[in-house]
Amino acid sequence: MKKLLLTILLGVITLHPWMAAAETRPAENAKTDKIHSKKPKIETPQQAPQTVKVGIYLNDVQNIDVHANNYLLDFYLWFKWQDPELDPSTSFEFMNHSESWGTIMNKPTEKPETLPDGSQYQVVHVQGRMSEKMDLRAYPFDHQNLVILIEDSAKDISGLTYQIEEVTVNPTLKIPGFEFHKPKFESAAYTYPTRFGDTRMQEAGSYSRITFKLPVYRNALTSFVKNIMPIWLAVICAIFSLMLHPRLIDSRFQIAIFSILSLVALQICNGNDLPALQYMNLMDALYVVAYVYLILLMAELIVATKWIESENPADHERAKRLDSRFGYICTTLFFAVNFYLIFVTFA
């Protein structure tokens, strides 16, 4: 019996460390799992946006319609990029299209070509009408910009960015009625002030936008001869009435009236070349000054006629002095105001 009890006691003493180890191991494993659960998750870095190089060659400006605020352009647009799964030549869009249904776009190849450096390449020949609101306050000395705005319709700035490569203009380009300066080509981010009702968007979308500008202007000398000189000639003809003797009443009034009628006809013809404007331009201001001068001239002729019909010789002399003073003072003021308005326009 003693031997049996001794055997059982020795067995319990032998198994006790193993039982303690078995009880301790789950606690240690739980602690280790808890520690691992606190480690931050490794996030995949965000992919950089694709860079697309863009170039443009302006071949021709076929028409500038001031009434409709648009212009017909013929140009070549090319794209270069690296990702073969991307094709920006199919996803770009014009943001200032005037008549999208009439735009013709042709590609020399259906699929992009691969250049020796491994980049993808595609050219698009575009013939289309673009729109830009024209500011005619300085007409006929106004400067306008023929603008082309391009964005990608599929990817925002986080997925695609445009990079300027080259901009050239046909060296034989001629624009009837206009001359042009060196074109401008720039790329910048454009942020829309709306999420377009998409509640999934955290903020308003930003897109890479290409802006092409061709500054055009009218020849200053030609504009002066065709638009301003006729006004001055009508006024100068009216001034000739002051050189006649005050007794030639009919001749003096006929010259003044014909000058006014000529001025009205000139303004009507000039207005046909421009759209309906909600503001006054330089030509309107010059016509107003000319009308004021001719109205004052008519008033002067009436006063001088009353004095010359008087039997008092002193009134005859007063009529002659009035003609002389009006001719010098008012005519000088007329041309001074004209030069001031033109100077302010150029400034």
Per DSSP (E only), the strands in 66-112 are: 70-81, 92-94, 104-106
**Interval 144-187: pLDDT, tens:** 999 999 999 889 898 999 999 999 999 999 998 899 999 999 99
- Residues 185, 167: contact at Cβ < 8 Å? yes
pLDDT at residue 299 tops 90:
yes
**Mean per-residue pLDDT over the chain, rounded:** 85
**What is the pLDDT confidence band of residue 46, given thresholds at 50, 70 and 90?**
low
Percent of the chain with pLDDT over 90: 68
Q: What is the pLDDT of residues 219-274, one digit of tens each?
A: 999 999 999 999 999 999 999 999 999 999 999 999 999 999 999 999 999 888 88
Mean pLDDT lowest for which of 198-207, 210-219, 232-241?
198-207
Collapsed DSSP state (helix, strand, coil) of residue 30: helix
Sign of CA dihedral 101, 93, 55, 169: positive
Whether 121 shows a pLDDT value over 60: the answer reads: yes
CA-based radius of gyration for the chain: 41
- 219 contacts: CB under 8 Å, gap ≥ 6: 179
Local confidence band at 293 (pLDDT 50, 70, 90 cut-offs): very high
| Non-local CB neighbours of 69 within 8 Å, separated by 6+ positions | 131, 132, 133, 134, 275
Retrieve residue 76's tokens: 């070549």
pLDDT at position 195 is 75
